Structure 1
């Protein structure tokens, strides 16, 4: 939910950005999202952009370089909004924008979903970038007191990211399960998900620590691997502050 709300529209570009190069890039984003990278031709992109195929080659040289610029543009927009939503006012503005006009975000959602499902280097880079950005937001939230301490901020960031990305790549199943078949991540779907998702992150799911203690005890008697990449467990006395607030 949070990662998806981190995106701004990739098309159309602001009026001042409507150069031939931007028009080609925007057309390519639409084609790559809808048809996939392999099936999209430079000629099709040129037709949509209203330019010649030779002009596409002049500006970008190859389809691979064009794809790289599209990746940078879409991911850059997403990261910019991620910083905006780090504050309550920023988050409210992003949510209101999405609910008011979810169609504005459809191209970005489809583009990023395609990049992930095709398992390209760009898709992998996107996932890694989102995880890193989410971890940074979590650590900043813990530091300023707006988020509860975590036993493993990196793992928490991965869980949040993968949940959001699953929603992006399984939009048809998501909408159908909520009774909105064929509508994808439309206004009805997102309004239905908005409060439950934030409730889950704010209040949690369980009313006591029974499952937490069972898991902690199970881990305590299970041999630990020699090393866990990227894991920096929080000291027990620090993590206990979270338990004391429950």
Structure 2
């Protein structure tokens, strides 16, 4: 089967997408090649043919998620693009980060670096505020955006929705999150100055 064969590409994508969904729902350790093959409508041998092993398939899933975050050739790296993608992708990312493996750490670091570059571009273009600690800002920004993936059942309960990542909930609540990032919450520097005072007491710069 040639790699240029459209059917080969289609089968490979189906396998990867099935793995994304299975890994995100059940965790990598609990998923078998046979289960992924059944979901994709292919044989286990074809999964091995395309990916070699379950670990290689998981790495392909990581690469796919990072590619979504990077965006297209003309798009700025933006975690929001990934968060607006299919639910299985979001669940996969949440599971990968919560598993706490070295590969998950590398994936998180990659997301932070891409986001730091994106925010730096925004500073140069004038639509992102300047930060004295750009790397810390990028890491915290990523963490805030990923938090709903880890707390989705609690969010669903508190917000009164079946799926906080569904399109209806996204359209309803995404503007609330964007308002926080765009305009903030506090109307004065009182809280910021209080933390700075605490920092000075402990000798922080």
> Shorter-chain TM-score category?
0.7 to 0.9
Deviates more, 1:208-217 or 1:34-43: 208-217
Match of 2:88 among 92, 107, 118: 107
Specify the alignment match of 1:151 in structure 2.
Answer: 132
Structure 2 unmatched runs, 5+: 1-5
Residues 1:117 and 2:98 are matched in the alignment: yes
Q: Measure how far apart 1:43 and its partner are.
A: 1.0
Give the whole-Å Cα distance in 1 for the aligned partners of 2:128 and 2:74. 16
Structure 1 unmatched runs, 5+: 1-14, 99-103, 226-246
Specify the alignment match of 2:3 in structure 1.
Answer: none
In the superposition, the TM-score normalised over structure 1's length comes to 0.71
Specify the alignment match of 1:242 in structure 2.
Answer: none
Deviates more, 1:33-42 or 1:204-213: 204-213
Going from structure 1 to structure 2, the CA distance change for 1:199 and 1:34 (only over 3 Å counts) comes to same
Q: Measure how far apart 1:86 and its partner are.
A: 6.7
Q: Secondary structure at the match of 2:144?
A: helix
Specify the alignment match of 1:232 in structure 2.
Answer: none
Specify the alignment match of 1:53 in structure 2.
Answer: 44
Give the whole-Å Cα distance in 2 for the aligned partners of 1:123 and 1:65. 14
> Larger RCO: Structure 1 or Structure 2 (Cα < 8 Å, ≥ 6 residues apart)?
1
Specify the alignment match of 1:196 in structure 2.
Answer: 176
Specify the alignment match of 1:167 in structure 2.
Answer: 148
In the superposition, the TM-score normalised over structure 2's length comes to 0.84
Q: Measure how far apart 1:133 and its partner are.
A: 1.5
Does the aligned pair in 2 maintain the 1:27–1:48 contact within 8 Å? yes
Does the aligned pair in 2 maintain the 1:109–1:168 contact within 8 Å? yes
Residues 1:74 and 2:65 are matched in the alignment: yes
Does the aligned pair in 1 maintain the 2:70–2:76 contact within 8 Å? no
User: Following superposition of structure 1 onto structure 2, how do residues 1-246 of structure 1 map, counting pairs within 5 Å?
Assistant: 18-80=9-71, 84=75, 98=84, 105-180=86-161, 182-224=162-204
Give the length in aligned residue pairs.
199
Q: Measure how far apart 1:23 and its partner are.
A: 2.5
Does the aligned pair in 2 maintain the 1:175–1:189 contact within 8 Å? no
Give the whole-Å Cα distance in 2 for the aligned partners of 1:82 and 1:220. 45
